[in-house]
Structure 1
Amino acid sequence: MSSSHDVVVVGGGPGGYAAALYGAAAGLDIALVEKQKLGGTCLHVGCIPAKELLETAAVYRTVAHADQFGISAGPPTVDMGAAQTRKQKIVDQLHKGVGSLLEGRKVTVLDGWGAIGPDRSVSISGGESEAATVTADHVILATGSVPRSLPGFEVDGERVMTSDELLSVSELPGRAAVIGGGAIGLEFASLLADLGSEVTVLEALPRILMGADDDVVKMLTRAFKKRKIQVRTGVAVSGCRNTGSSVELEIDGGDPLEVDAVVVCVGRRPFTDGLGLDAAGVEVDEGGYVSVDQFCRTSLAGVYAVGDVVRTPQLAHVAFAEAIMAVKHLLGESPAPVDYANVPWAIYCHPEVAFVGHTEASAKEAGFDVVASAHRFIGNGRAMIVGETDGLVKVIAERSDDGPAGRILGVHMVGPWVTEQLGQGYLAVNWEATVPEVAEFVQPHPTMSELFGESVLSLTGRALH
C-alpha cells in the first residue's frame, strides 16, 4: 500500500497530533503515523495521569484537615484502586477525544512504526496498517521521549521504577527514594508524601528545580521539610541492591539508604529508535536529539522535528507551539520562532511552582540592572480562607533611573494554585510590558492573583501592603 499526502507526521503525541490538527485546519492533506496510543507520553504516562493522581493527593490532604473548617470527616484512607480507575477514565476520555478530532478533520491515521526514507517517504511496519510507504511534500518528526535510566538501577516496576511504572501502582511504598530534584521528581515526591509515604529526594546538583528563582526554591524546600520530605542535594548514587523486601541505595561518600521503592526521575531521552535518521541523513546531536534550526527544520530538506525529540524544553505546550510554527513555516507563512527563554513552567507539587523569564540571578548575569519585589501569601485573604499560605510571588524588573522600574523580566511563584495564576506574568514578560503599565491593571478581590498586582505595584515605589 502506498499513498501521497501534503504532510506526513510521525508520532501521535502532543507535537504530532497538534501538527496534524493545525495542518488539517489549514486545509492540508495530513497522514499521521503512530504505533502506540494517540496522545503520547503526556496523555498516557505523563502530564494527565500525574496531575490526576496529584489531585487525589490534594483531596486526601483537604479531607485530612477538614476539621479546621468545622467539618468532621474522620481520618481519610487511600483506595489506590479507585484512584487508578478514575485516572484511567479521564485518560481514556481524552484519548477518545484526540481520535475524534483527527477523524473529524479527515486526518489519515496509520497504525505502525514509521521510518523516514528518501524523498520524504515514510515506511510503516509492525502495525494494523500493514507494510506501507507514504510520501509527502513535508514530513514532521514528533516521536517524543522515554524515561532515562541510571547505571546500576534495573527497573522492575515494583522496587525500582520510573515515572511510567509509578503512575500505575496499586500499592504505595512505605518508604520511597526519588532520584532527581527536577519537576517530575518533585511532583512524585509530593504525591507520595501526601498519601503517606516517607520520602527522600536525592539530587546530584547543588539545588533542586534548576530554572526557578532562589527565593522560590528556598521556600519550596522549607515547605517540603515541614511535610517531612527530606531533600538531599549534592548527592550522587552509584547503584542499588534489591533485597527482595527492600532496596538499598549506594550513595557515593555516604551511608547506604534503605527504602521500599526507588523512583528514578532523571529526565527523558529522545525516542528515535528505528526512525532511520542516519540512513536518511537527518543530523542528530551528541545527546541523540534531532538537530533543528529556529523553525524546527532538520538537515534534510522538507523535514521538520518538534517536541521532545529536539533539544528544547520537554513540555507539552512547547511541543504544541513548535508544531504550529512548523506548519506555518511549511505553508510559506512567516511565524515567529518560539522564545524558549520565556516559555511558562508549571510544577504541580505542593505547594505549586510556576515561573517565566529571568530569575533575579540570571537577569544580573545577563547584564541587567535589576530590581525585584516579592510578596508572600501569608498576608493574602484568599490564601488564608483556603488554608494555604505557604508561598510567594516575585517579580523581577529592569531598574529605571527616572522613576518606577521598567520592563518586567521574570515572574516566579510558589504557593497555592500558582500554576493557574502565571498567565498575567507570562503576558507581561512576553509583551515586554513595563511596571507602570501593569500596575494600572485592576486585580479582583479577594483573589490569590492580587499578589502579582501587589508585587508589581510595589516596584512603582508606592505599595499598598
Structure 2
Amino acid sequence: MSSEQDYDVVVIGGGPGGYAAALYGASAGLTVALVEDGAVGGTCLNRGCIPAKALLQTAEVYRTADHAADFGVIADGASTFTVDWAKVSQRTNGIVDRLVGGLPGLTETGAVSVNGTVLRGGAVVIATGSVPRTLPGFEFEGELIVSSDHSTRSASLPERVAVVGGGVIGSEFASVFTDVGVHTTLLEAMPGGVLPVGPDPELADVLRRALVKRGTTIHAGAKVNPPEMSDGGIVLGFEANGASEKIEVDQVLVATGRRPVSADMGLTEAGIQVSDKGFIEVDKTTMATTRPGVYAVGDVVDTPGLAHVAYAEAIVAIKAILGEQPDPVDYARVPWIVYTHPEIAWAGYTEDAAKAAGYDIVVHKHKFAGNGRAMIIGDTDGMVKVVAQRDGPILGVHIVGPWASELIAEGYLAVNWQALPEEVGAFIHPHPSLSEAVGETMLALTGRALHG
C-alpha cells in the first residue's frame, strides 16, 4: 500500500553533497527527506576519502617506526616492524563505522524509507555521486582486478601490485603500497608519470622522485594491455618509451578516474539535461538543473570531484532554494590536496597557467630543508611555491611537503581573498613551525626576506 509524504526538500544521495544539503537545510528550518540506497556517507566516507587516509596514516606510522633509530629511539630486541593488514583493515573499518554511525543521528528528521512511499518535495537535490571507471578488459571482480573502492576496505595485501593511473587516487595508493612493503609498479599514460594533471609540475616531480627513492617503479607514457592470467599471478603488458614490457603481479588496481552516477534515473524524461559524459547540467551560480525546482551537486556535476566542493555546492543549492542570493563556488580557487608522502596541496593558478592567462608574474619558493620544524620532525623534502601578479595579488599557492594538507588553508584564504604578498607576509607565524615556510615565501615576494 503506497502513501505520500511532503517535504520542503528531498535529497537523493547520502554522500558529502547529499548529507551536507540535508544538514544545512534542516539547520535553516526546512523539512528534509534524505534518500540513500546504501550506507549514509557515500563513497567518500565508506570507500574513499576517510578509509584511504586511514591507510595513508598507517603508512606514516610504519615509516616513523622504521626510522625510530634516527631519533635515538632504539627498539629493545628485534628492531624490525611488520604490518598486520587485517588489523589495519579492522582499524579503518572502525573509523568508518563510527563516522557513519554519527550521521543518521544528525539527519534523523530527514531520513525516510522510500519503499511504498512517495516523497514529494518543494525542491529536489540530486547528489548521487560517482563510481570508479575501468578500462576495456579490466572489468572489476574485487580480488585480482580491483578499484580503489575495493582496496580501501580489503583485509589482505598483495605482494606485488600494478597501479594503472597516476592521478590523485593512483598516486595515493602507490604511496601506501610502497611504504608498507608492496612491490609497486605505477603505470600512467601521460608524460611525467605522477599527477600529470592538476598540480604545478615542479611539485609533482618532487613526489615522483620521492616515490622512486622509496621503491616505486614508475612508467610514464605507458599504454597498458588487458591482463592475462598466469600460474604465478597476473601478467600485464604495456608499451612505454617505444618498448614493450611485461610484468607479473598479484593484483591490478585500476585508478583511471570516476564517472557520475546518473544513468537509469529517468533524468532526461524529467526534463533534466545530461551531458554525453553523464554529468547533470547545472547553472553553477545556483546549482539548478534545467528542470525548475531540481538541483544537483557533487560528483554528478562536472565540477572538481572533491568532498569539500560538494559541501560548498550543497550550501549554494540550499540557499537558492531558500530564495537567498548565494555566492557561487569559485572553482578556479578551490583547495586541492593529495595525501601522498610527501603531501601536495594547492589553490589557484600554477605558474604555467598564470602565464597562459596573460599575467605578468613573480614566483618565489622556500624549501622545507631550511625549516627548523621540518628538521625536528625529520621530514624536510619539499617546498612552498607562491605565484603572484607583479605588484598585485597572490594568484596561487603550492605546497609539497610535511602537512601540506593543513598548511594550504592559509594559502587558500590568501588566494580567495586576492590578498597582497605584503599583507600575508605581515602575519606572525609561530616559531618553530612548518607554517613559517609560507610566511618566508610571502616575505620574499615583497623584495625582503629573513632567510635567503
Q: TM-score range by the shorter chain?
A: over 0.9
Equivalent pairs, count: 440
Deviation at 1:242, TM superposition (A): 2.2
Identity of aligned residues (%): 52
Q: Which residue among 180, 185, 188 is the counterpart of 1:200?
A: 185
Deviation at 1:336, TM superposition (A): 1.0
CA distance in 2, matches of 1:382, 1:79: 31
Alignment partner, residue 150 of structure 2: 165
Deviation at 1:289, TM superposition (A): 0.6
Superposed counterparts of 1:95-106, under 5 Å: 95-103=100-108, 106=109
1:244/1:138 CA distance change after superposition, 3 Å: farther
Alignment partner, residue 362 of structure 2: 371
Alignment partner, residue 129 of structure 2: 144
Q: Which residue among 258, 262, 267 is the counterpart of 1:277?
A: 267
In the alignment, residue 407 of structure 1 is paired with which amino acid?
P
Q: Which moved more, 1:371-380 or 1:228-237?
A: 228-237
**Is the CA contact (8 Å cut-off) linking 2:92 and 2:153 kept in structure 1?**
no
- SS of structure 2 residue aligned to 1:279: coil
- SS of structure 1 residue aligned to 2:225: strand
1:329 paired to 2:320: yes
CA distance in 1, matches of 2:26, 2:287: 19
Alignment partner, residue 250 of structure 1: 237
Alignment partner, residue 356 of structure 1: 347
Q: Which residue among 414, 417, 421 is the counterpart of 2:407?
A: 421
1:440 paired to 2:426: yes
Q: Which residue among 172, 195, 198 is the counterpart of 1:211?
A: 198
In the alignment, residue 277 of structure 1 is paired with which amino acid?
L
CA distance in 2, matches of 1:175, 1:375: 37
In the alignment, residue 62 of structure 1 is paired with which amino acid?
T
Deviation at 1:221, TM superposition (A): 1.2
Deviation at 1:255, TM superposition (A): 1.5
Show CA shifts across 1:361-386 (max 9, x none): 00000000011001111111111111
Show CA shifts across 1:412-446 (max 9, x none): 11111110111110000000001111111111100
Show CA shifts across 1:151-194 (max 9, x none): 01122222211001111222222221111111111100000001
Deviation at 1:249, TM superposition (A): 1.4
Alignment partner, residue 82 of structure 1: 87
In the alignment, residue 265 of structure 1 is paired with which amino acid?
A
Deviation at 1:244, TM superposition (A): 5.2
Show CA shifts across 1:203-249 (max 9, x none): 11123321111210121111111112122211111311122531111
Deviation at 1:275, TM superposition (A): 1.8
Alignment partner, residue 117 of structure 1: none
Alignment partner, residue 293 of structure 1: 283
Alignment partner, residue 66 of structure 1: 68
Alignment partner, residue 31 of structure 2: 29
In the alignment, residue 172 of structure 2 is paired with which amino acid?
E
Show CA shifts across 1:25-77 (max 9, x none): 00111111111000000110000000011111111111001011111232111
Give RMSD over aligned pairs: 1.1
CA distance in 2, matches of 1:268, 1:214: 23
Show CA shifts across 1:77-134 (max 9, x none): 111111111111111110011111112xx22x134xxxxxxxxxxxxxxxxx422211
**Is the CA contact (8 Å cut-off) linking 1:6 and 1:138 kept in structure 2?**
yes
CA distance in 1, matches of 2:218, 2:332: 27
In the alignment, residue 15 of structure 1 is paired with which amino acid?
G
- SS of structure 2 residue aligned to 1:382: helix
1:228 paired to 2:215: yes
Deviation at 1:260, TM superposition (A): 1.6
- SS of structure 2 residue aligned to 1:280: coil
1:393 paired to 2:384: yes
In the alignment, residue 90 of structure 1 is paired with which amino acid?
I
**Is the CA contact (8 Å cut-off) linking 1:151 and 1:238 kept in structure 2?**
no
Alignment partner, residue 464 of structure 1: 450
Alignment partner, residue 450 of structure 1: 436
In the alignment, residue 97 of structure 1 is paired with which amino acid?
G
Alignment partner, residue 331 of structure 2: 340
**Is the CA contact (8 Å cut-off) linking 1:34 and 1:110 kept in structure 2?**
no
- SS of structure 1 residue aligned to 2:205: helix
**Is the CA contact (8 Å cut-off) linking 1:284 and 1:291 kept in structure 2?**
yes
**Is the CA contact (8 Å cut-off) linking 2:263 and 2:278 kept in structure 1?**
no
User: How high is the TM-score relative to the length of structure 2?
Assistant: 0.95
1:189 paired to 2:174: yes
Deviation at 1:278, TM superposition (A): 2.2
- SS of structure 2 residue aligned to 1:2: strand
In the alignment, residue 94 of structure 2 is paired with which amino acid?
K
Superposed counterparts of 1:295-314, under 5 Å: 295-314=286-305
Deviation at 1:338, TM superposition (A): 0.5
Alignment partner, residue 161 of structure 2: 176
- SS of structure 1 residue aligned to 2:272: coil
**Is the CA contact (8 Å cut-off) linking 1:159 and 1:242 kept in structure 2?**
no
Show CA shifts across 1:339-360 (max 9, x none): 1111101111101111000000
In the alignment, residue 432 of structure 2 is paired with which amino acid?
P
Alignment partner, residue 49 of structure 1: 51
User: How high is the TM-score relative to the length of structure 1?
Assistant: 0.93
**Is the CA contact (8 Å cut-off) linking 1:53 and 1:191 kept in structure 2?**
yes
**Is the CA contact (8 Å cut-off) linking 2:51 and 2:153 kept in structure 1?**
no
1:151/1:244 CA distance change after superposition, 3 Å: farther
CA distance in 2, matches of 1:167, 1:326: 31
- SS of structure 2 residue aligned to 1:336: coil
CA distance in 2, matches of 1:43, 1:172: 21
Deviation at 1:256, TM superposition (A): 1.8
Q: Which moved more, 1:227-236 or 1:293-302?
A: 227-236
- SS of structure 2 residue aligned to 1:256: strand
In the alignment, residue 83 of structure 1 is paired with which amino acid?
V
